[in-house]
Structure 1
Amino acid sequence: MSAYGELVAFWSGASDLMPGDSNGTLDVFVKDLQSGALEAISVASDGTAGNGPSLNAVLSANGQLVAFESRASNLVAGDANRSSDIFVKDRLTGVVERVSMAADGRDGNDGSHRPALSADGRFVAFWSEAGNLVPDDTNQSYANGGYDIFVKDRQSGALERVSVAADGAEGIADSVAPSISADGRFVAFGSFAANLVPGDTNDVPDVFVKDRLTGAVERVSLTADGAQGDGDSFWNPHISGDGRFVAFWSEASNLVPGDTNGVPDVFVKDRQTGALERISLADQGAEGNGASYNPTLSADGRLLAFWSEAGNLVPDDTNGALDVFVRDRQTGAVEHVSLAADGTASDGASYSPTLSADGRLVAFWSEASNLVAGDSNGKLDVFTVDRSAPAGP
């Protein structure tokens, strides 16, 4: 979603969204919520449709640039590696750029995945199995860390591996799922590596933040007093625009006092104060009675969207399905957003939310058929909710 929420990027296997879509694979699109216009993104600069699946799209703040992952080999000239690559499409000029390449222009020798963009689109973070993107990348066996995190500077062409210790030592295990701050300085990611920071002895994956300016690496999936988590913390962390707050989900039960629900929860770490807050609670503070996952923050870190199996985060949640919620960290209020406009509960699972910069708009995937009138395709769809709009009949 763009910063103001007027544009939403998504990927779809549907062949009837655009005329002439006959490539029979996943494509990336951008929807303009104001005009209703739909634009095909995963096409070459001359308009040729991609000949392989494209997915995992993200937008720059103003929506001009779209980064995505694709196995298509015809989006740019000379793509001969037969692997997933990361591309950036300029919606204004139509130019498509492949960014998952070495600084000297060599193809990556393996796949690259799940891009994240700085606000202006200059920096692109992604994770890759390729071992030839930077010199001295020797941690290529799966057991010893086949996946690394990289940041491409589209202005200078420089490519940096960020999943390394402060002294430059390679991670000894996989690093995945980067999120990048608005200015591109801070990168949050999950890693199985135990050598990125001193004292990492818990033998589970953790969430880290790399400061690209100083080279410092910080482990954020710790208690407020610095104790290690006793369970996994890694998939899909999200960093606020200024890099101060990092949201993540964790199976650890010791990150905050009183965590007795025995399921994954969502947390936010304040890197300035060291405070750690559990987010997946009811507004009265009751623990969720089901697992919660994949948080995303507003730009200032105040609002956080996540999806949850819990049925007790808000009153009258009786649909027994995954739902999307937004928590206001300032007031403690929890809002159930995967509802129809009249407040009717969804009749299917909803997940993977994204917030606009101010948190007003929420986009998410849903299997529900009753969120809007006329939804009869029986397929997974993308929806947006304006949280400022009045709910109910």
Structure 2
Amino acid sequence: MLKLIWRNLIRKKLRTSLTVLSIGIALVLISFLQLVLAAMSGVEGTAANRLVVRNAISLTFRLPASYEQRLQTLDHVEGMTILNWFQGQYIDDRPENRFPRFGTNPETLLSVFPEMVISEDEVTAWRSERASFIAGQTLVDEQGWEIGDVISIQGDITPVDLELTLRGIFANPDDPSDERRMYFDWQYVEEALGNPGIVGMYYLRLDSADSMDRVISQIEAMFENSPDRVRAETEEAFFLSFLQLLGNVQFLFNAIGLAVITSIFFITVNTMAMASRERVTEVAVLRTLGFSRPKVLSIVMIESLGVGLLGAIFGASITPVVTNALTLFLSGQGVIFNSLEFTLQTLMLILGIGIFLGLAAGLVPAAQAINLKIVDGLRQVT
């Protein structure tokens, strides 16, 4: 029976090839949209036991540095640091020169992000020199920096110009997008501004994700009556809030994906229906030779599934290549295009959609085949 199914698949080689190609390209597009969406949301590099404490009104409002002492008294907190976004301008406004810059506390950063890989000597050098910074391996490769290089960042929102020396290069296997960031000592800015004692947000690492809800409630209750109220949320929720600022991008991407799937579905249905109509006589002959309705049904469904699966395999094989090519081509157009990564989840998505398309598209021709009257089919013999 499998030999019969294979012969049916390759009977019209051009039509089958074009259908498989269409499914594969559609799945590449869907996968790319989902990879971009995942990179925008940033959830792939988040940790279940990290939380963010920020101003309850907006990220544009800061928090007092004095909150740090009160947060340190909480139970279940194993590490805490500060992060302050520094806008500024490095060289010019070209996209390749726009990358995340964070002021932090060099003494505590690694206690919250233990997955960052950096040598002890480089950490020591960074901590011992206030006007210095560390950068991710990806950013260093893009900019062509070397240890000891001095860079200048002109302040804009924060009226401070930075002159920083590269003292360390880190990697982050858990979050490749982090390797396009730089971190410097926020005290450098504090001193230049006259020590106003302001913090953008606090990052906390807890002993367990099970403690998250309890600690969040304690933090928000602790500062409920303070002039600067806070909002505590998981790291994942914090990143997802950025996606909401861009509008309902997730809905838009999913709508595009659904439209693509619908279009390919009808194309595949039409292909299988055409193949079924061409073989009406053959189906009647098979029924005459003793093939039961379930067996005829299985032949048509397996053939349709084969088309969908071939398309999925083709899509899965070229998606990593296309993703890498687009990442290189679009690397200067924004941070999100530097963290696209083909994962097992993406592979399962492609195969799942391909199998669904194959099975769903086979329902119509399968119904036609099993409901065909033998006499009517034999009348079409020419």
* TM-score with structure 2 setting the length: 0.22
Bigger RCO of structures 1 and 2 (CA < 8 A, at least 6 apart): 2
Q: Which has the larger share of helix?
A: 2
Report which of the two structures shows the higher radius of gyration computed on alpha carbons: 2
